[in-house]
Amino acid sequence: MTRLKLGKLICVGTGMRMAGQVTPLARSHIETADVVVSAVPNIFTRNWIQGIAKEFICVLGYYTDCDVDGKNRRDTYRRMADTILENVRAGKTVCAAFYGHPGIFACISHMAIKDARAEGYIAEMLPGISAEDCLVADLGIDPGRTGMQSMETTQFMIYERRIDPTAMFILWQPALAGELSLKRFDTTAARLQVLVDKLARDYPLDHEVILYEAATSPLEKTRADKLRLRDLPSASLQQITTLVIPAAFPLRPDQAIVDLLNALPELPVAV
């Protein structure tokens, strides 16, 4: 029988808004873990975590690894996951804290959990409030109305994807659109134009899209700038911007399926 080893990993999310969106369970793990390993960019949230954690390790500095020849973001993410695992292997209860939801567009937590479990440690993830959750609340768009597609911008650009323009489409990390070196954290108007040209296969160029940025503190305002798709290359994009493309066309009934369903026998009435 395999015995689970000492050492444990819990990945938690801090939500998008400073301290206010962390769940009571996540907060309890931050407070009680032997060590909190954190990749939270917001300085206020970081200070808050540091203030309540027993021991605190910030791995954000690892991003400078990308400046080294031959290294890119994937090496940084691997090193962050390795730091988490080193502490688990040392027999500690480790809380790894990420902003938003720890498993949404956050590969480090998935890597660390997979490796920890493979080595026989208990590892789990707790859900957090993601940018997408805030977006639904701030923009008042119910994903259930038209359905929703959600994708990383560069992935959408460089792979053949089938997009449904009758559903909402969320593109994450548009500020890194087409950045193939995985070393930089920006894009260019030319790359955004490539994105627009690809989107124009399914959407009219004058379709209204939204640049969304959830407020991360009570002092900030939420950004929900509306613009025409064709104007995207000249727009100002931040690393926290998410591009929201509302449905461009109404849903069309699939009459063949409706007919099939109507032709099915009725269920007998329950007595």
Ligand X SMILES: C[S@@+](CC[C@H](N)C(=O)[O-])C[C@H]1O[C@@H](n2cnc3c(N)ncnc32)[C@H](O)[C@@H]1O
117 catalytic residue (yes or no): no
Alpha helices, DSSP H, located in the chain: 24-32, 43-52, 73-89, 107-118, 131-139, 143-146, 153-158, 189-199, 255-263
Helix, coil or strand: residue 83: helix
Contact between 63 and ligand X per CB under 6 A: no
Strand order in the sheet with 148-152: 148-152, 168-172, 242-245, 208-213, 223-228
Q: Which is nearer to ligand X, 8 or 101 (CB)?
A: 101
203 catalytically annotated: no
Q: Mark residues 201-220: x for contact with ligand X by CB under 6 A, - for none.
A: -----------xxx-x----
- Which among 46, 62, 77, 203 is annotated as catalytic? 77
- Tokens 């801090």 correspond to 14
CA distance 112 to 96: 9
Which residue of the set 17, 46, 62, 99 is catalytic? 99
Whether residue 212 lies in the annotated active site: no
Is 242 a binding residue for ligand X by CB under 6 A? The answer is yes
Tell which one of 106, 116, 141, 167 touches ligand X (CB under 6 A).
Answer: 106
Q: Are 212 and 227 in contact (CB under 8 A)?
A: no
Select from 19-27, 29-37, 154-162, 236-244 the region that touches ligand X (CB under 6 A): 236-244
Question: Of residues 56, 63, 105, 249, which one binds ligand X by CB under 6 A?
Answer: 105
Query: By the criterion CB under 6 A, which residues form the site for ligand X?
Result: 16, 98-101, 104-106, 130-131, 172-173, 212-214, 216, 239-240, 242
